[in-house]
């Protein structure tokens, strides 16, 4: 078959296709040139930074947390070198699979995985995210020798340690992992990379001082993701060391005296308001919380009827009982309702005119004729029933208010409660009921609606001791920035309680002296071999009310319904240095159960003073 050929047509078709190809190549070349121009000229700086970012990363340097010391330089809280397991998300292909593998070999558990997933939201993908804290040296060594996990590493860090265990836990508090509220509250930039913050006590109160300031370091990685260079851009500033007014020896002595009991012992410096001992029992171990408390320990704390986490020294509110009688007596003297010569006959009970009910004295046989000093020394209820009735609740309220009852003291740890100083207005607001005369009588002996904390009693007793100087109690006395001198933190000046006649104050103090030294003083057993002078007041506070004819028999009551034992005092009498307040829950008589504890704490204080 003869082939038919059309050369002109073929050349035309070929030319058209050639032109089309050139146009297509031109368009592609133009696009490529424009793209190169965009990359190299227009967005040169942006992509240069992005390229460097794949090699260079800025990550936070967490500062070393400040230490906490007692007044004598003994360590209360410090840091210990430890190791933690970390995971860097951008270097791990399958995070879930890696976590499961780590769990299988026993390095982590479900709780660690859950915590990691929570923390992951706070970090960027190139950060080393903590996976497990406080690895043992054996765990660390085994992991490093056989590590097959890319992106999982071990790094050193400083672990918070409380070397005295349970001692002073209600003062120091503890640190624990940050929660959602913490992350919102604290400065995000300064806390990036931080895992722990103060949760209670001094650790929480002065968190920002203890934390310090984050630094920044730059790391460079090669194409395989391995770090090849590290450069510090800005060094971290370590947290400040804190020095507290607490005397650890005094603290431990007080804790030992309350071992196995529920109660509190507070001792303050009369001259400046510094808190020397702030004890609440029972206690718990703050080290439990640092890396996450175990389920067993948490359950024990939550289910304990004794509520170990309650700081009774500032949050426990109790009827002050007879420990408030010196302040009530002073009010009567200063207001001219009584004089130091006024006497009341005590038959063992008191009756209001035209009222059938009897208000019993603790001594059913009565005290006979007593003056203001006798009534304090012997703790005569009838004298104070009569005085309260003569003054009325408003006058009594106004005078007790001078001693800071019913208000927070302002101590520098969180959680303090203010107690109740009742009045007609208070009852109307809180109970929507009128005030009754009988309620005035029982407030006069520190019962009824009136409540206070052990700290409030110590502060009020100190104010009585130094003739009206009411100090705001404080714990922080000094701070030290790394490599700098210790800096003193001045306290607030005292508020002066109005004094109408200093002789009235001296008469009340004499009554408290007779409590210790008079033949009928309720704490007379304390004066045996006493090497310093002591003024005090015993107290017994009822947990529930008794009918007029009902007799209190402790043995027949449930332990938690028995009376609280109290004691307040100060020493020496002429030049007071230390004031103390003690409450032992449901222990009974303040004379036998609280006062002897005060003697032992004060003995330690004065023996140390002589030794030093």
Q: How far apart are CA 496 and CA 402, in angstroms?
A: 9
Q: Which of 322, 379, 452, 589 is catalytic?
A: 322
The number of helices, as runs of H, and strands, as runs of E, in the chain is 23, 23
CA torsion sign for 378, 381, 386, 389 is positive
Q: What number of residues does the chain have?
A: 612
Which of 612, 610, 597, 607 minimizes the C-alpha distance to 253? 597
User: Catalytic residue at 313?
Assistant: no
Distance of CA 322 to the CA centre of its chain: 29
Question: Per-residue DSSP letters for 551-606?
Answer: ---GGGS-GGGSPEEEEEEEESSSS--EEEEEEETT---HHHHTHHHHHHHHHHHH
Q: Which helix (H) or strand (E) holds 86?
A: strand 75-87
Q: How far apart are CA 526 and CA 136, in angstroms?
A: 52
CB atoms within 10 A of CB 75: 14
Distance of CA 396 to the CA centre of its chain: 33
Cβ-contact 175, 160 below 8 angstroms = yes
The residues pairing with 565 across neighbouring beta strands, listed in sequence order, are 540, 584
Question: Per-residue DSSP letters for 363-426?
Answer: STT--EEE-HHHHHHHT-HHHHHHHHHHH-HHHHHHHHHTTTTTS----SSTT----B---HHH
Instruction: List Cβ neighbours of 284 (8 Å cut-off, separation of 6 or more).
Output: 166, 169, 301, 308, 309
Q: How far apart are CA 346 and CA 2, in angstroms?
A: 151
Q: In this structure, are strands 152-161 and 196-198 parallel, antiparallel, or unpaired?
A: unpaired
Question: Per-residue DSSP letters for 293-336?
Answer: --HHHHHHHHH-TT-TT--HHHH--B--GGGGHHHHHHHHHHTT
Q: How far apart are CA 134 and CA 291, in angstroms?
A: 8
Pair of tokens at residue 198: 């103060």
Cβ-contact 491, 474 below 8 angstroms = yes
Q: How far apart are CA 462 and CA 313, in angstroms?
A: 16
Helix (H, G, I), strand (E, B) or coil at 46: helix
Cβ-contact 477, 244 below 8 angstroms = yes
Q: How far is CA 179 from CA 111, 122, 175, 176, 469, in A?
A: 15, 11, 12, 9, 42
Phi-psi region at 446: left, alpha or beta (left = phi > 0; alpha = psi -120 to 50): left
Output b/e per residue, 137-154; b: 16+ Cβ within 10 A: eebbeebeeeeebebbbb
Give the active site residues.
322
């Amino acid at each position: 078959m003869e082939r038919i050929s059309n050369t002109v047509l073929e050349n035309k078709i070929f030319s058209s296709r050639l032109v089309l190809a050139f146009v297509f190549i031109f368009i592609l070349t133009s696009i490529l040139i424009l793209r190169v121009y965009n990359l190299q000229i227009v967005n040169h700086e942006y992509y240069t930074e992005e390229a460097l970012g794949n090699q260079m990363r800025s990550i936070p340097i967490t500062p070393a947390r400040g230490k906490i010391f007692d007044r004598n330089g003994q360590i209360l809280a410090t840091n210990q070198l430890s190791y933690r397991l970390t995971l860097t998300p951008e270097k791990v292909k399958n995070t879930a699979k890696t976590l499961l593998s780590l769990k299988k070999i026993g390095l982590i558990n479900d709780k660690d995985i859950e915590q990691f997933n929570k923390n992951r939201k706070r970090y960027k993908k190139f950060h080393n995210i903590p996976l497990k804290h406080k690895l043992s040296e054996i765990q660390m060594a085994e992991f490093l020798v056989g590590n097959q996990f890319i992106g999982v590493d071990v790094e050193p860090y400083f672990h918070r340690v409380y070397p005295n265990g349970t001692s002073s836990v209600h003062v120091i508090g503890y640190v624990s992992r940050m929660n959602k509220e913490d992350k919102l509250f604290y400065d995000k930039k300064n806390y990036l990379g931080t895992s722990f913050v103060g949760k209670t006590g001094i650790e929480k109160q002065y968190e920002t001082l203890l934390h310090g300031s984050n630094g920044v370091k730059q790391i460079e990685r090669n194409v395989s993701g391995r770090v090849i260079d590290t450069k510090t851009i800005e060094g971290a500033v370590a947290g400040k060391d804190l020095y507290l007014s607490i005397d650890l020896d005094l603290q431990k002595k007080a804790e030992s005296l309350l071992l196995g009991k529920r109660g509190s012992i507070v001792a303050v410096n009369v001259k400046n308001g510094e808190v020397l001992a702030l004890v609440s029992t029972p206690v718990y171990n703050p080290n439990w919380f640092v890396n996450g408390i175990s389920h067993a320990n948490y359950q024990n704390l939550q289910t304990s009827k004794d509520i170990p986490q309650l700081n009774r020294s500032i949050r426990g509110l109790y009827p002050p009982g007879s420990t408030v009688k010196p302040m009530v007596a002073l009010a009567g003297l200063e207001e001219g309702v009584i004089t130091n010569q006024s006497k009341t006959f005590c038959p063992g009970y008191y009756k209001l005119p035209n009222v059938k009910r009897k208000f019993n004295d603790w001594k059913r046989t009565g005290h006979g004729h007593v003056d203001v000093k006798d009534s304090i020394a012997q703790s005569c209820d009838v004298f104070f029933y009569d005085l309260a009735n003569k003054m009325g609740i408003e006058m009594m309220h106004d005078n007790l208010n001078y001693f800071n009852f019913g208000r927070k003291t302002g101590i520098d740890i969180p959680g303090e409660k203010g107690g109740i100083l009742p009045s007609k207005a208070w009852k109307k607001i809180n109970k929507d009921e009128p005030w009754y005369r009988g309620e005035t009588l029982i407030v006069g002996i520190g019962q009824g609606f009136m409540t206070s904390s052990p700290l409030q009693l110590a502060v009020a007793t100190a104010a009585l001791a130094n003739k009206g100087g009411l100090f705001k109690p404080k714990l922080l006395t000094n701070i030290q920035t790394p490599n700098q001198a210790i800096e003193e933190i001045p306290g607030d000046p005292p508020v002066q309680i109005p004094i109408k006649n200093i002789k009235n104050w001296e008469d009340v103090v004499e009554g408290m002296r007779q409590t210790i030294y008079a033949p009928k003083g309720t704490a007379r057993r304390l004066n045996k071999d006493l090497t310093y002078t002591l003024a005090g007041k015993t107290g017994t506070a009822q947990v529930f009310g008794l009918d007029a004819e009902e007799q209190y028999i402790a043995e027949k009551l449930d332990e938690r319904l028995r009376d609280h034992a109290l004691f307040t005092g100060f020493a020496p009498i002429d030049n007071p240095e230390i004031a103390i307040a003690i409450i032992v829950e449901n222990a009974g008589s303040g004379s036998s159960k609280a006062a002897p504890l005060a003697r032992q704490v004060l003995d330690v204080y004065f023996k140390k003073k002589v030794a030093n």
